[in-house]
Amino acid sequence: MVDLKSQYNFIQDEVQTSIQEVLETSSFINGPAVKEFQRDLEHYLGVKHVIPCANGTDALQIALMGLKLQPGDEVITADFTFAATVEVISLLQLKPILIDVDLLTFNIDPARIEAAITPKTKAIIPVHLFGQVADIDAINTIAQKHNLYVVEDNAQGIGARYVNNKGEKAMTGTLSHVAATSFFPSKNLGAYGDGGAIFTNDDELAYFIRGIVNHGMYERYYHDVVGVNSRLDSMQAAVLKIKLKYLDFYNERRKEAAIRYTQLLSNHPNIITPHRAQACDSHVFHQYTLRIVNADRDALVKYLNEHDIPCGVYYPVPLHRQKAYADVGVKEENFPVTNQLVKEVISLPMHSELDTDQIKYITDKVLRFLDQKN
Ligand SMILES: *Cc1c(COP(=O)(O)O)cnc(C)c1O
């Protein structure tokens, strides 16, 4: 699905020099590379505070801890996302309220949010799924009206730009109170191990969160709140610092690959190519995800695998039907779209190194399979 080896070959010298510097200074925890990467990322995003941490799941958890939510408080999020989003809500003894998604964008459907709000609702977590920005204007309007926090799960959307209804452009992760991202190797900005970060423009919240990631310490060995230990290590920061310089280039390459895929796959009766929301100025295609309609999606997955084409089904089971979240108390009829998408979606290989020949090979096989079966 990704080609991290080819990507590495291209930046090998720079990355090795950067890692070598960490080895020379031997400042492995909170070393200068972490600070530098943090500053570079703040500058890139146009956000006041980036707080690096150990992974994207921690970033989400810490962002919620920063908002001082109380056990039993309700947090609204999408039914169709990676489990980490809902996992952290449950771990903090908050109550996840799952909402169906939009059939075109696969993102949380704002039209369904308001009906789910109760006096206990405290926050909404939109996920920029597959690299496409969620409908942030609508979500922020609802949040303002009901005095709720908005926490972006930007693990799949880093580098995407959004145009709000006033025509202003801003990066994902800066569109809400606080955001979380992941530097898992296959993400658009991936480390060579685990990593994550929290973003906010709120000085007070940033200060509070900087303590939370460090055992609730604001002054050495004085623990004011119960915190966690969640750090981005210097080696990963050294890699990320280099890769951040290429993020726009990588995302541009993904977009070109997506355009090529769509050219070759549109106008087929069994394929629905990815839709792009109007306000999504730059879909960063963390995944290139098709809907396969009136054809056997699972047989297509098998066929592609047999022809050495990796592909993925993100996600085969909606969160409301996962055993771990069986007690969140939902009605099956509230999720018509997610229930449909889990049967239809297939993600094709997507990364910054995909070339024209590979795309042609992949799309030929997809089309051959669908045409054989009809
Ligand atoms: C990857 C991902 C996460 C978790 O990130 P990790 O670094 O793997 O902990 C959270 N949410 C979404 C939507 C993701 O894709």
Quick one: 121 and 38 in the same domain? Answer: yes
Q: How far apart are CA 278 and CA 254, in angstroms?
A: 19
Which CATH number covers residue 282?
3.90.1150.10
CA angle 135, 139, 143 (to 5 degrees): 170
Query: Alpha helix locations (H) across 213-246?
Result: 234-245
Quick one: 151 and 93 in the same domain? Answer: yes
- Atom 5 (ligand 1) nearest CA: 56
Q: Residue 331: which residues within 8 A CB-CB, separation 6 or more? A: none
Quick one: 188 and 234 in the same domain? Answer: yes
| C-beta of residue 37 within 8 angstroms of C-beta of residue 236 | no
Angle between helical axes of 356-373 and 247-265 (0-180°, round to 10):
30
Residue 77 Cα to ligand 1 middle (Å):
14
- State the pLDDT at residue 278: 83
Give the global pTM: 0.96
Quick one: 189 and 112 in the same domain? Answer: yes
- State the pLDDT at residue 224: 95
Domain boundary among 209, 244, 279: 244
Whether 56 is in the pocket of ligand 1, judged by its Cβ within 6 Å, is yes
Task: List beta partners, residue 223.
Answer: 217
- State the pLDDT at residue 373: 59
Domain boundary among 198, 219, 244: 244
- State the pLDDT at residue 328: 76
- Atom 14 (ligand 1) nearest CA: 155
Quick one: 41 and 130 in the same domain? Answer: yes
Q: Which two tokens stand for residue 276?
A: 């792009």
pLDDT one-digit tens code per residue, 143-170: 999 999 999 999 999 999 999 888 999 9
Going by their DSSP bridges, the two strands 169-171 and 161-163 should be labelled as antiparallel
Task: List beta partners, residue 170.
Answer: 162
Quick one: 209 and 273 in the same domain? Answer: no
Quick one: 253 and 197 in the same domain? Answer: no
Determine the atom of ligand 1 nearest the C-alpha atom of 55.
7
> Range of 238's domain?
4-99+107-244
Q: How far, CA to CA in Å, does 172 sit from each of 10, 119, 164, 269, 366?
A: 27, 28, 11, 33, 32
- Atom 7 (ligand 1) nearest CA: 56
Domains identified in the chain, total number: 2
Write the DSSP assignment of 116-154 as a string of letters: G--TTEEEEE-B-GGGPPP-HHHHHHHHHHHT-EEEEE-
Q: How far apart are CA 6 and CA 189, in angstroms?
A: 15
- State the pLDDT at residue 326: 81
- State the pLDDT at residue 226: 96
CA angle 162, 258, 14 (to 5 degrees): 80
Which CATH number covers residue 224?
3.40.640.10
Amino acid symbol at 294: N
Quick one: 35 and 92 in the same domain? Answer: yes
**Residue ranges in the chain modelled with pLDDT below 50:** 374
Q: How far apart are CA 213 and CA 227, in angstroms?
A: 6
Domain boundary among 244, 260, 283: 244
Residue 295 Cα to ligand 1 middle (Å):
30
- State the pLDDT at residue 1: 83
Quick one: 240 and 251 in the same domain? Answer: no
Residue 196 Cα to ligand 1 middle (Å):
9
Helix (H, G, I), strand (E, B), or coil: what is residue 95?
strand
Quick one: 41 and 183 in the same domain? Answer: yes
| C-beta of residue 156 within 8 angstroms of C-beta of residue 350 | no
Q: How far apart are CA 335 and CA 357, in angstroms?
A: 39
- Considering only the C-alpha atoms of the chain, give the largest distance between any 2 of them, rounded to a whole number of Å: 69
Quick one: 303 and 251 in the same domain? Answer: yes
Whether 38 is in the pocket of ligand 1, judged by its Cβ within 6 Å, is no
Quick one: 41 and 172 in the same domain? Answer: yes
Whether 55 is in the pocket of ligand 1, judged by its Cβ within 6 Å, is yes
pLDDT one-digit tens code per residue, 39-94: 999 999 999 999 999 999 999 999 999 999 999 999 999 999 999 999 999 999 99
Give Cα 187 distance to the centre of its chain: 8
Amino acid symbol at 349: P
Amino acid symbol at 165: N
Whether 192 is in the pocket of ligand 1, judged by its Cβ within 6 Å, is no
Mutate which of 55, 106, 172, 182 for ligand 1 pocket (most atoms within 8 A of beta carbon): 182
